[in-house]
Structure 1
Amino acid sequence: MKRKIYDTMVRWKQESAGKTALLIDGARRVGKSYIAEEFARTQYRSYILIDFNRAGKEVRDLFEQNLNDLDSFFMYLSAIYGVTLYRNDSLIILDEIQLFPRARSAIKYLVADGRYHYLETGSLMSIRKNVADILIPSEERHLKMYPLDFEEFLWAMNETPLADLMKVCFDKKKEMGPALHRKAMTLFRKYLIVGGMPQAVSTYQETQDFEKTDAIKRAILDLYRQDIAKHAKGCKRKAEVVFDEIPEQLSRHEKKFVLSALGRGARFRDYESAFLWLEDAMICNVCYNSTAPDAGIRMNWDRTALKLYFGDTGLLISHAFDENGLVTQEIYKKLLLGKLEVNEGMIFENIVAQMLTASGHRLYFYSNSSRDDKNARMEIDFLITKRKVTDRHNVSAIEVKSGSRYTYSSLRKFMDRYREQLDVPYILHTADYSEKDGIAFLPVYWTWLL
């Protein structure tokens, strides 16, 4: 599948390979190993893929015993894998490197040697046990990989012209038009259901069968549960409880995570490690409350008030609508037609969080529950900042609307209260593009363009 990260990898090769190693971090099954090998095949004369899930003792011993003699190190490595290495034209891929942290610390010496280029891939990269007792090399360039965004999904569905048209309409502030808007919304609702995990997208592309796709997603969810049980040291049970509670929390009208649902007397400090573990594993996207929407948005955040979204919305649907281990065809039909009576709001908000994260935004929301001042009482789903900060008008407020009838009183109050700080306010909805009252109403499938 065509992935945007590939172009970033090519730029790395052109600009800093040989001076740095590239580390691709992402959730399990997000496509890291595939893109690494595809990059190696197309960009280098030869490559060696060291998969530390399979590498035997003889390979691991090279990193333990031969780093002081790199001539021998490369001679043995070339012989073990039967691959000839070419100076400045061979790539060595260290796959699943979190399973052997010693190889990660060796990057310092391998990059300094300068003969070849190095690409690392892994999950759970910042989990404590995966960095214990090693020196994290300063020569690493860290790149995060996410599930397919909507444009990548359109590429996979052979709908590249539609994606290109979206860019033009977004730039020109122009409607898509009734026929193309309906087509785009149908494809977007398929994206909601399938999600962006490459194996799920590939299965749907080949079969057009939601049930077969659901089986793939359910296997990934089981893998995540196994990872929690195996790797969430010190917070295993709490991480499991939080993981299973996410759909219920998102289905609430106010989507801030309510700790009391986890147990009587539950406190943030008791569960903070579980939230952080799920975020570090890139299983979830955490959205924090910002108490002051200005250019220094991160300096005004309340880390104890948060919303927790699934990293992939297709996985959320398989997790939330579980009936005897299978999401029913009736649920799929209602999602496709926009007729789901409940929970569609949480699905739309989750997909927006997913696409904003993939576009490089940190997630923040604004909430003020003042009992004394009704004009101050409001909640804004998301806040994003401009790429280039200026003296004022740096923050855009985003409201997500899944239905055709809605109000936006919170956004109006927010605009009145923070006029000097506010850039273009957006409402993401299921209709075509329009502008009214100083607000840009965008079709939700344009989120990836923000």
Structure 2
Amino acid sequence: MERFILNNLIEWKNSKYRKPLILKGVRQVGKTWILKEFGKNYYKNFVYFNFDENIEYLQFFQTTKDPRRILQNLMLISGEKIEAENTLVIFDEIQDAPEVINSLKYFYENIPEIHIACAGSLLGIALAKPSSFPVGKVDFLSINPMTFSEFLIANGDQNLKSYLDSVDSIENIPDAFFNPLCEKLKMYYLTGGMPEAVYIWTHERNTELMLKSLNNIIEAYEKDFAKHPNIKEFPKISMIWKSIPSQLSRENKKFIYKVVKEGARAREYEDALQWLVDANLVNKIYRSSAPKLPLSAYDDLSAFKIYLVDVGLLNRLSLLSPSAFAEGNRLFTEFKGALTENYILESLENQFETKARYWTDNIYEVDFLIQHENQVIPIEVKAGINLKSRSLKKFTEKYKDEVKLKIRFSLDNLKLDDNILNIPIFMADYTKYLISLVLKKI
């Protein structure tokens, strides 16, 4: 299946400032697959070392810090030749191998011509630990679940993707494209972007098998919770995880610890929540006190919302029936539009360097704020076709001098109403591009 991150990997390969690469991403998001595909198609050969399957390989890194000796041992044990510039060396499952992570510093300093790419489950947890880390000596890339655009290609709908790529002005999408794109998006809400679930659906068209795949992924994640160094945190992580659908089903989606457990307090659960954040299983976005630059300077650290890494996993964790697919727009509006908000945030995370925030004022709430160049842009998500935006209006009244452009995601067509850009939900992957079109116009 086509993954757009391949373009980033090619840029990394060709960069004269290239450093050993650490590829981050949740379990089963396709890290190993994409690195092997990259090595197979863009190098003379690749060599693969898995430090979970072959624990004995760790001794090569424990007995010496000389990268040439390490490479010599790896070549001898594998029977593979490693050539500078021509071979991609893949280190997999390095999350429990601090010596391997630390060795990247010496590879970069002594033999930078060797191309090394690393991956591992729960790598975000390992990198968050206060241990010897090669600061400034490695490059990072993150691989996220497949986007809706990638789903369209995998599903055989290249024509729809090609049409979206061809849009070069803010004008209505013809019904011949609009309606099927809405239907495909509903399917994406069910499968999500985990590669195995997408593969099963696109090749088998079997909903039961696809849902079983998602259930297995969730079960694997829940088993990972026990890998927290403090075993007492395990039930807390599990309770937070299972509370996410309840958190998002509320009108005000601010995370509340009491939803996790009656009487729960922040200090008792914040470490467990941080574990989920470090594991990249949830996205945590803070409330912003004002739409000013930089956004991070105006974070209210006591108020935040959390969303799941993937809309399909949220659907499964919520145990929504696939029958909702056939019930009009129910999937888009289900439990206060939480699926749609989750999907929109996933898409924004792929496009903007600065993490999204949100804004509230008493009963008013703007779903997301994004920072684009030197502007803060408010975003409201409308899961249906009711386009009344009291919160966006209130936000504009309060910050009229700061707001040049507002965005509304909805099931309405692509259009610009004064300074409100209405983007059909299925075009979320094109948000940054559409903003640039509008800013050129106004």
> Fold match, TM over 0.5?
yes
> Within 5 A, what are the aligned runs for 1:21-420?
21-57=20-56, 59-68=57-66, 70-114=67-111, 115-127=113-125, 131-169=129-167, 171-231=168-228, 233=230, 235-321=233-319, 328-334=321-327, 337-339=328-330, 342-343=334-335, 345-360=337-352, 361-369=354-362, 377-386=363-372, 388-389=373-374, 394-420=375-401
Aligned equivalents of 1:54, 1:439: Cα separation in 2: 53
Return closer, same or farther for 1:445/1:403 CA change in 2, 3 Å cut-off.
same
Range moving further from structure 2, 24-33 or 71-80: 71-80
Return closer, same or farther for 1:344/1:156 CA change in 2, 3 Å cut-off.
farther
**Does the CA-based 8 Å contact 2:251-2:336 persist in structure 1?**
no
**Does the CA-based 8 Å contact 1:232-1:277 persist in structure 2?**
no
Shift of 1:67: 3.0
Aligned equivalents of 2:127, 2:340: Cα separation in 1: 35
Q: 2:409 aligns with which of 428, 444, 450?
A: 428
Aligned equivalents of 2:234, 2:55: Cα separation in 1: 29
Aligned equivalents of 2:201, 2:334: Cα separation in 1: 25
Shift of 1:152: 1.1
Residue aligning to 1:374: none
Shift of 1:95: 0.7
**Does the CA-based 8 Å contact 1:149-1:196 persist in structure 2?**
yes
State the one-letter code of the partner of 1:381. D
**Does the CA-based 8 Å contact 1:98-1:130 persist in structure 2?**
no
Aligned equivalents of 2:343, 2:124: Cα separation in 1: 25
Q: What SS does the aligned partner of 1:172 have?
A: coil
**Does the CA-based 8 Å contact 1:242-1:262 persist in structure 2?**
yes
**Does the CA-based 8 Å contact 1:111-1:117 persist in structure 2?**
no
Q: 1:440 aligns with which of 399, 418, 421?
A: 421
**Does the CA-based 8 Å contact 2:387-2:410 persist in structure 1?**
no
Q: What SS does the aligned partner of 2:75 have?
A: helix
Aligned equivalents of 1:47, 1:128: Cα separation in 2: 25
> Within 5 A, what are the aligned runs for 1:5-16?
5-16=5-16
TM-score by length of 2: 0.92
Residue aligning to 1:372: none
Return closer, same or farther for 1:116/1:129 CA change in 2, 3 Å cut-off.
closer
Shift of 1:279: 1.1
**Does the CA-based 8 Å contact 1:101-1:131 persist in structure 2?**
no
Q: How many residues align?
A: 427
Range moving further from structure 2, 274-283 or 121-130: 121-130
**Does the CA-based 8 Å contact 2:250-2:336 persist in structure 1?**
no
Aligned equivalents of 1:277, 1:257: Cα separation in 2: 16
Once the two structures are superposed, residues 63-107 of structure 1 have per-residue CA deviations (whole angstroms, 9 ceiling, x without a partner) of 112433x44432321121121121221111111111212101011
Shift of 1:343: 1.5
Q: What SS does the aligned partner of 1:79 have?
A: helix
**Does the CA-based 8 Å contact 1:105-1:137 persist in structure 2?**
no
Once the two structures are superposed, residues 414-439 of structure 1 have per-residue CA deviations (whole angstroms, 9 ceiling, x without a partner) of 11211221132111011211232431
Shift of 1:260: 2.0
Range moving further from structure 2, 247-256 or 73-82: 73-82
**Does the CA-based 8 Å contact 2:348-2:429 persist in structure 1?**
yes
**Does the CA-based 8 Å contact 2:20-2:107 persist in structure 1?**
no
Shift of 1:10: 0.7
Range moving further from structure 2, 181-190 or 111-120: 111-120
State the one-letter code of the partner of 2:329. G
Return closer, same or farther for 1:329/1:297 CA change in 2, 3 Å cut-off.
closer
Specify every segment of 5 or more residues in structure 2 that has no aligned partner in the other structure, as ranges.
Answer: 432-442
Shift of 1:407: 1.9
Shift of 1:272: 1.8
State the one-letter code of the partner of 2:41. T
Q: What SS does the aligned partner of 1:256 have?
A: coil
Q: Give the root-mean-square deviation of aligned CA atoms.
A: 1.9
Shift of 1:116: 1.3
Once the two structures are superposed, residues 27-63 of structure 1 have per-residue CA deviations (whole angstroms, 9 ceiling, x without a partner) of 1111000001111111211221111121141x21111
Once the two structures are superposed, residues 372-428 of structure 1 have per-residue CA deviations (whole angstroms, 9 ceiling, x without a partner) of xxxxx5210001111x22xxxx11111111122342111111112112211321110
State the one-letter code of the partner of 1:79. L
**Does the CA-based 8 Å contact 2:128-2:278 persist in structure 1?**
no
**Does the CA-based 8 Å contact 1:431-1:443 persist in structure 2?**
yes
State the one-letter code of the partner of 2:75. S
Return closer, same or farther for 1:128/1:113 CA change in 2, 3 Å cut-off.
closer
TM-score by length of 1: 0.90
State the one-letter code of the partner of 2:330. K
Return closer, same or farther for 1:248/1:422 CA change in 2, 3 Å cut-off.
same
